[in-house]
Structure 1
Amino acid sequence: MSYLDFCQNMTQFIQNCPSMFHSVATIEKELQAKNYTLLKEKEAWNIEPGHGYYVIRNNSSICAFYVPQEITDYHFQISASHSDSPTYKIKAIPEYKGPEPYVRLDVEAYGGMIDSTWFDRPLTIAGRVLVETDKGLENRLLYIDRDILMIPNVCIHFNRQVNDGYSYNRAVDLPPMLSAGEMKKGSFDEMVAKELGVEVSAIRGKDLFLVNRQNGLVWGYENEFVSSPKLDDLECAYSTLQGFLDADHTKKVDVYVCFDNEEVGSNTKQGAMSTFLKDTLKRVNAALGKTSEEYYRAVSGSFLVSADNGHALHPNHPEKNDPANTVFMNQGPIIKESANQKYTTDGFSRAVFASICKKANVPFQCFANRSDIVGGSTLGNLSNTQVSVHAVDTGLAQLAMHSSFETGGAKDPYYLYEALKEFYNTNIIIDGADTVTFD
């Protein structure tokens, strides 16, 4: 497969993931296509060698693993990404009525988005709805595949300072317009009920978010760029998943995990700081007939690749980047490092991942923030509070991070795929922080 085909497949994957709940459902379909078996947290686990399995928490985080026929070096090789992206969540009572005759939605920010990028473009809603049935409550996915919302800018004649660094007020400027008069207060839930084929009275709870309706695309005269909603972090979620699915799983237990809630701190029951990964690994250990002592020994020899995008040099603002540790699109995965441990990379884990990239014939780059600019953090060091392993923070270089329509390099998803496939194909034997053998 060419990098271009891979990138176009990725944009279709992202289009199928309008919310974190849809992201997990889409990943689940890919796992099922490879004959992975669903395990439920409330049920006993029966694990057989030579098979792949997955478990879902809250319908928004997913962890898959493969147990080979023979484990000759018991440890875990893990990749982690996240299913969520910055957007706006619709509140439980969803509507503002007026000024007459308008109906607007009451929304609040989920994560740290660039507000201005959400104006004047077709939007819709997606997420999950809990509906009452004869037997109790049932979870339903919702995606309205139509252009139904818009957040209109105020015309420049009434906002002359809009091009002078205008500060948007999310309570005043961001409510999306739902109707100019045809719909009334209460129409939102009626719309949701109609889409789900239930009565309004059956709706008991909902987690619904705004969705940018623009489809992703590869662009540029030489097909150099890819732009899409949610590149951060579905680009990494897809590339690491494909590397996991296409690898030859031997000698150790390979793990793929995609967490929810990274954009709001990961401190939830399904986030990277939760027990989700630890619970899964401990239950795998028990199902394999291993002892607690064997679990701790396995973890000590394990390795995590945390995959979340980073900042490419912006052509209009090169001064924002560190002059030496600068990364570019289409030049391979980036290795992110921070002295204050906002990233989990250290010299040891950098060397391991760089060696994997070299084995895969994949270029890689080194990223660090300017020393006078505080950067963001990601899920690697947060996950390590529950499962403490050697770990590297990697990802792909992109522009316009947290815009509603982000831009990256079209070659990079395939580079990350090749690196992760090699990561899973390689048995990484770690002895403390002294030696590493690649088998």
Structure 2
Amino acid sequence: MKKNLWNKYTDEQLKELSDVTEQYKNCLNECKTEREAIEFTIEKAKEAGFKDLKEVISEGKKLNTGDRVYACCMNKSIALFQIGKEPISHGMNILAAHVDSPRLDIKRNPLYETDGLAYLDTHYYGGIKKYQWVAEPLALHGVIAKKDGSVVKVNIGEDENDPVFLVTDLLVHLGAAQLEKPAATVIEGEKLDILIASKPLDESELKDEKDAIKANVLKLLKEKYDMEESDFQSAELEIVPAGKARDCGLDRSMIASYGHDDKICAFPSLLAMLEVKETEKTSCCLLVDKEEIGSMGATGMQSKFFENMVAEIVALTEGDSNVKVRRALQNSKMLSSDVSSCYDPLYAEYFTRRSTATIGFGITFNKHTGSKGKNGSNDANAEYIANLRKIMDDAGVGYQLVEYGKVDVGGSGTIAYISANYGMEVIDCGISVLNMHAPYEVGSKADVYEAYRAYKAFLRNA
């Protein structure tokens, strides 16, 4: 029976909840991009005694029970391992989540000037409602990779003294025709360009009267980042909502922030991984990129990165053996964590009430995701769900068995089906959020805490 969690907590648990969620808010503020999330993860992992797997291999060392290592892929995905008492070929307990979020990406040749204003051209990333991204303060995060091999970090718009950026919208006084358009096209993708400047370069510095505002932007970028216009071609610059995570509600029971999808699952997974020691089975925390666009590419779940790193771990514990790698993967159990839909009374017609998650009622388990007939879904085995129910009940964890919404309305997919290709036990789980994929999403502090408790119980007892 689903229950609101707040009344069950002891004073000690409420104190721990506050500590966990304050750490999580800090994570949200520091980790708005996948690169920032991986940098944050490596820092925390090193503090907890994890060593770079590359260094272990280069030193010719073996891995033993209790050893902790991490492997990073292109600064956008990471796998952390803690060697258990049992051979890894007996399987691992894996916590998986993704660290990319919907956003606007800067194009390769983005900077242009027109009619007294300068803009950066963008291409949206992931599934967004485009109209939600206009007339909101935005920040610029990312890196500029230069031909000399140097990589410069960019972060503009987060400090209170920084400028912010905007996507402009048509004034309502002239918007009658615009407002008659369907929501999907009221703002078109090519109109999501970022307003960045309106001041021209001083005439004494101009070599050409054309595009004086653009010239001033290039001057500022040169002074700040020693950047040429051509360096946009090898830059990864992302536009995200500016500002910090904030407590939401008079009771401060919720958190409003950009990037809950999927930091709200990635952070408690990481925290559980860092804290749980001396496990029977090898523990793993896998944080990947590109989930919002199909998990493709070298840093997405569909790449061979994770499989390759498991092979390295097997070689350093049981010896080089392809069949043991296959056994390690097939014998594993995974919680594939991602945000779930949350019942919203204002949009009740899109949900089946008894089958939809309620905010503040605990971690979610989705036997399947997909849409319209479970299409594209992993479908967890009943025996595995029963095992998880026992683990959660024994640990006193609040949880919900849920679905996304009404059957023919829509649905979603995660990385679970990809991991299931190895034959391992996988279930979709996570935390329900309001406003999913919006610039600001809302999640419950109680659900974050309960996920943290659930992940610890899973690593110890699965």
What's the TM-score, normalizing by structure 1? Answer: 0.89
Gaps of 5+ in 2: 1-14, 202-212, 369-373
1:196: Cα distance to partner? 3.5
Partner of 1:297 in structure 2? 327
How far, CA to CA, are the matches of 2:220 and 2:266 in structure 1?
32
* Residue equivalent to 1:4: 18
Instruction: Give the counterpart of 1:117 among 132, 140, 152.
Output: 132
Change (3 A) 1:197 1:332: same
Correspondence list, 1:10-409, <5 A:
10-40=24-54, 44=58, 46-49=61-64, 50-68=66-84, 71=87, 74-98=90-114, 100-133=115-148, 137-144=149-156, 145=158, 146-160=162-176, 165-166=182-183, 167-182=185-200, 184-185=213-214, 188=217, 190-196=219-225, 205-290=234-319, 291-338=321-368, 339-368=374-403, 369-385=405-421, 387-409=422-444
* Letter of the 2:164 counterpart: I
Counterpart-to-counterpart distance in 2, 1:185 and 1:41: 45
Deviation at 1:72, TM superposition (A): 8.9
Question: Which one has a larger percent helix, Structure 1 or Structure 2?
Answer: 2
Stretches of structure 1 lacking an aligned partner (at least 5 in a row): 429-439
Q: Which whole-Å deviations, capped at 9, do the CAs of 1:252-275 have from their partners, x for residues lacking one? A: 211101110000000111101111
- Asked if structure 1 preserves the Cα contact closer than 8 Å seen for 2:68 and 2:80, the reply is yes
The 10-residue stretch of structure 1 (103-112 or 348-357) with the greater mean CA deviation from structure 2: 348-357
Give the direction of change, closer, same or farther, for the CA distance of 1:303–1:173 in structure 2 (3 Å limit). same
**Distance in 2 of aligned mates of 1:341 and 1:86:** 21
Give 1:12 deviation, angstroms.
Answer: 1.1
**Percent pairwise identity:** 21
Q: CA deviation at 1:43?
A: 6.0
Deviation of residue 93 (structure 1)?
0.9
Q: Structure 1: how far apart are the matches of 2:215 and 2:426?
A: 49
Deviation, structure 1 residue 192: 4.4
- In 2, distance between residues paired with 1:130 and 1:124? 19
Task: Report the secondary structure of 1:285's partner residue.
Answer: helix
SS of the residue corresponding to residue 411 of structure 2 reads coil
**Aligned pair in 2 of structure 1 residues 193, 360: CA closer, same or farther (>3 Å)?**
farther
What is the root-mean-square deviation in Å for CA atoms of aligned residues?
A: 2.4
Deviation at 1:354, TM superposition (A): 2.2
C-alpha displacement of 1:8: 2.3
> 1:157 aligns to what SS in structure 2?
helix
Q: Which moved more, 1:215-224 or 1:199-208?
A: 199-208
Q: Structure 2: how far apart are the matches of 1:217 and 1:156?
A: 29
SS in 1 for 2:72: strand
Secondary structure at 1:284's aligned position in 2?
Answer: helix
Which secondary structure does the structure 2 equivalent of 1:185 belong to?
A: helix
> Which SS does the other structure have where 1:281 is aligned?
helix
After the TM superposition, which segments of 4 or more aligned residues of structure 1 sit over 4 Å from their partners? 41-45, 69-73, 161-166, 186-193, 197-204
The SS at the match of 2:398 is coil
Q: Deviations over 1:272-322 (max 9, x none)?
A: 111111111111101113333333333332101100001110110111112
Alpha-carbon distance in structure 2 between the residues aligned to 1:193 and 1:330:
48
Amino acid paired to 1:213? A
- Counterpart of 1:3, as a letter, is L
